[in-house]
Amino acid sequence: MALRYVKSFEELMNAAQERAQAGPMRTEAQGITIEYASDPERVRAIVPAPLQANDEGLLQMSFAKASMKPAPDVDIVIGAFTFSAHVTYEGKPGLYPVTMVFDDELTVISGREMWGEPKKLGRVDFEIQGDIVSASVTRHGIPFAAFNGRFGAALTPREDNEPSYCFKFTLAADASGFDHDPQLIRLLWNRQQLAARAVDGDLVLADSAFDPVADLPVRRLIGATWAHTLTRSGGENVCTVPGMSMFPFMQQRYDDIAAYCGKR
């Protein structure tokens, strides 16, 4: 009797071998990446040690429609939003994702459980009509970030290997803390641009108790870029960090219950 809730050891080993032979996960996407400067002290306050925020308070937002291939013959089309702080770790630059919103359950669960990504389910809209591009992200019925712009000059495609860093942890069953000391994970992303263009536009942040990006206001819009990219991604454990050092940042990963009660 075959039960789909249960896989044989042979089936699991064959699937693992197929994933290993496929190499790093490949994602093809079109998206807008926006760079802006906010208040440096506010940016420093949202970045956990041992990461260090950029002295200029630089932040990055990206909206994309992507085709992810987590396994051979599997193609998942998703909307993706990421809000990150520019950081350094051991003196080397990287990104720290504070909020990630995806509209596909599989990518949310796998990203959270495998790499500690702060992914949450939501709606990501990304649309191009002629030279006009628009994007927005919504959770709990609140559209908390939006970008509207117009294509500018073509840019020389480039390759980017800057890593991102996440903290992987789970909460204890009795709510007393974490199951184990959080792990710092380095996300290894190789992004190859196939085409790129500058974009002139405006980034608008709206208040949300669930996704308080408005706490990091736009003080200076540095620029925006549209790109068609091919990304290969993976990850690795870097180190563990003391559990108490992560406690103040839990709401970056888990929605604040007080927000549901309308208290914030």
Q: Which residues pair with 192 in a beta bridge?
A: 159, 230
Q: Which two tokens stand for residue 122?
A: 């939501």
Q: What is the distance between the alpha carbons of residues 261 and 12, in angstroms, rounded to a whole number?
A: 43
What is the radius of gyration, based on Cα positions, of the chain? 19
Strand bridging mode 164-168 / 142-155: unpaired
| Confidence at residue 21, expressed as pLDDT on a 0 to 100 scale | 66
CA-closest candidate to residue 231, choices 2, 78, 39, 47: 78
Pair 68, 53: CB distance under 8 Å: no
Question: 51 in helix, strand or coil?
Answer: coil
In terms of phi and psi (left: phi > 0; alpha: psi -120 to 50; beta: otherwise), the region of 91 is left
Q: What is the distance between the alpha carbons of residues 212 and 209, in angstroms, rounded to a whole number?
A: 6
Pair 94, 50: CB distance under 8 Å: no
| Confidence at residue 12, expressed as pLDDT on a 0 to 100 scale | 83
| Confidence at residue 258, expressed as pLDDT on a 0 to 100 scale | 85
Amino acid at 221: L
Amino acid at 114: M
Which element (helix H / strand E) includes 21? helix 9-22
User: How many residues are present in the chain?
Assistant: 264
| Confidence at residue 203, expressed as pLDDT on a 0 to 100 scale | 98
| Confidence at residue 232, expressed as pLDDT on a 0 to 100 scale | 87
Pair 214, 169: CB distance under 8 Å: no
Pair 127, 133: CB distance under 8 Å: yes
Backbone angles phi, psi at 245, to 5 degrees: -70, -20
Per-residue pLDDT of the chain (264 residues; tens, 9 = 90+): 567 888 888 888 887 777 666 666 678 899 999 999 999 999 999 999 999 999 999 999 999 999 877 666 778 889 999 999 999 999 999 999 999 999 999 889 989 999 999 999 999 999 999 999 999 999 999 999 999 999 999 999 999 999 999 999 998 999 888 899 999 999 998 999 999 999 999 999 999 999 999 999 999 999 999 999 998 888 999 999 998 889 899 889 999 888 888 755
CA 181 to chain centre: 22
| Confidence at residue 263, expressed as pLDDT on a 0 to 100 scale | 54
Strand bridging mode 92-102 / 119-121: parallel
Taken in order of first residue, the domains within the chain and their CATH numbers are 24-161+190-232 (2.40.400.10)
DSSP secondary structure letter of residue 252: G
The neighbour count for residue 23, using CB atoms within 10 Å, is 9
Residue range 182-193, pLDDT digits in tens:
999 999 989 999
Buried b (16+ CB within 10 A) or exposed e, 49-82: eebebbeebbbbbbbbbbebebeeeeeeebbbbb
CA 175 to chain centre: 26
